[in-house]
Structures are given as C-alpha cells and as structure tokens.
Amino acid sequence: MSIGNVCAYRLCRHVAVGPALYLRGRPKIVGRRNIPRRGPVIVAANHLAVLDSFYLTLAARRQVTFLAKSDYFDRDGLAGRLQRRFFTAVGQIPVDRRGGSAASPALDAGTRIVEHGGAWGIHPEWTRSPDGRLYRGRTGAVRVAMETGVPLVPVAITGTRPDRSVPWWRRRVVVEFLEPLDLAPFRNAGVDDVRAATDALMAAIRSRTGQEYVDTYAKAWAPSTSRPEAA
C-alpha cells in the first residue's frame, strides 16, 4: 500500500467515515483476537447491507481489501476522481468482470492480496441478501485459503440491514470475528471438499447471526446459471 493510500485510509477511518459509522451503528466488536493485526488473512462475512464492508474494516483495526466492480473506478471528471480516491481509501480495488470468467479476476486479485501480506475481505454470498436470509456461499474464499494456506476467518455481522420497525437510536451493529475455519478435514482438493468447506463456513456464520439459511444462490445472480461457482 502506498503512503498516499495509507494516509487516505487513516483519514477515512479516523475523520471522514469512522466517526459517522460509530454514531450511526454504535458497533459492538466480538472476537477481534481471531484476526491478526498483521500478515495475510481472509475474512469472509455475510452480506446484509452496503455498509457491511465498512463496519468490518472498522472492527478489524487494519485495512481490509474488498473487490469492487471496475465501473466504480471508470467515471470521468472531478466526481470520478473523488469516487476512485474514496473507494481506494476504504480498501476497494477494481475487478473487471465484463468479459470471460467472472471468477478468475476475483480469485487472482484475492490471491495477490494475501500473497502480499494483506487482509482480503469477501462476502461469499457475492451480493447483498435480498430478504435478510443467509444464502449459499460461493467457493472462492475457500479455494484461495486452501491454495495459499492463509487462515480463513468467518465474520458474523448483524444490525446493518435497514429496519424501520426499530428506532435508529436503538439499533446496534455487531461484528463478530469467529475462530479461523479448520480446513484440514477438507484438504483432499476435490470439488466436493471445497463445496463442503464452503457450506461449513456459511454454517459457522449462521450459528452466530441466527439467519434462516437458503441453499440457493442469492437472487441477484438469477436467472442466469452461467456464472461460475468459484467466485
């Protein structure tokens, strides 16, 4: 990470974004000892709202890099430059999925992040839950963890999904870092083992969020069935 990006990240965390997040969600952080302050790690969380990645990064006390559509970085003019600067500062990097496999650029980018000692943040559902339930996870996080040997930490997030039935001053975001997933029983490198490990990852998250589980991919990917599971 460049010095400029480090400064921008710290500015967002401590001045521009972090204080507002604290005021809005009064976040409660649980299990922070399970994520190392330095060194490579993959953090995989459920996805209820746009702010999930921001709260996760705030809770981790280190920059967590997420993958974002390259469209967010392509705007022209001053607004485009400011948008690119903001997404870079909060740990987003562009991935172009407009041609070929949707999985390969994401997995390659995630691998590069951890190989350089970074923290890669991913939402295995790959899109926000349309109804608050927990959907079937894509296998990319497990694949990269198995290939690199990097610890895979499940993260359970609650309280970020808008709920008009609860007054804003009573809402509270909870970010819980669980113990790293034990991948040893799944390391036979078979497709079924990767799928089983991903199911175990989602089960660990569900055990803390209490979400109803849906054993299909989130509707944002439907009706197409052509997208690869690996992402």
Residue 212 binned pLDDT confidence (cut-offs 50, 70, 90): very high
* Distance spanning both ends of the chain, measured CA to CA: 24
pLDDT score of 155? 98
Q: Is residue 228 part of a domain?
A: no
Q: Is residue 189 part of a domain?
A: yes
Taking Cα atoms as reference points, which of 158, 131, 205 lies closest to residue 26?
A: 158
Predicted model pTM: 0.80
Q: Mean of the pLDDT values across residues 123-132?
A: 92
The encoded tokens of residue 69 equal 């559509």
Q: Are 136 and 215 in contact (CB under 8 A)?
A: yes
Measured at the alpha carbon of residue 114, what is the angle toward residues 202 and 63, in degrees to the nearest 5? Answer: 85
SS3 assignment for 60-116: HCCCEEEEEEHHHHCCCHHHHHHHHHHHHHCCEEEECCCCCCCHHHHHHHHHHHHHC
Stretch among 56-60, 132-136, 217-221 having the lowest mean pLDDT: 217-221
Q: Is residue 103 part of a domain?
A: yes
pLDDT score of 188? 74
Give the domain CATH number at 104.
3.40.1130.10
The count of structural domains within the chain is 1
Question: Is residue 227's pLDDT more than 50?
Answer: no
Give CA–CA dist 172/170, Å, rounded. Answer: 7
pLDDT score of 89? 61
Q: Are 231 and 126 in contact (CB under 8 A)?
A: yes
Q: Is residue 88 part of a domain?
A: no
Q: Is residue 206 part of a domain?
A: yes
Helix (H, G, I), strand (E, B) or coil at 129: coil
Q: Is residue 127 part of a domain?
A: yes
Q: What is the pLDDT of the chain when averaged over all its residues?
A: 81
Q: Is residue 150 part of a domain?
A: yes
Q: Is residue 31 part of a domain?
A: yes
When comparing pLDDT for 131 and 22, which is higher? 131
Question: Is residue 180's pLDDT more than 60?
Answer: yes
pLDDT score of 66? 86
pLDDT score of 33? 96
- Residues 153-166 have pLDDT tens digits of 999 999 999 777 77
Q: Report CA 194 to chain centroid distance, whole Å.
A: 19
Q: What is the span of the domain harbouring residue 107?
A: 27-69+98-221
pLDDT score of 187? 84
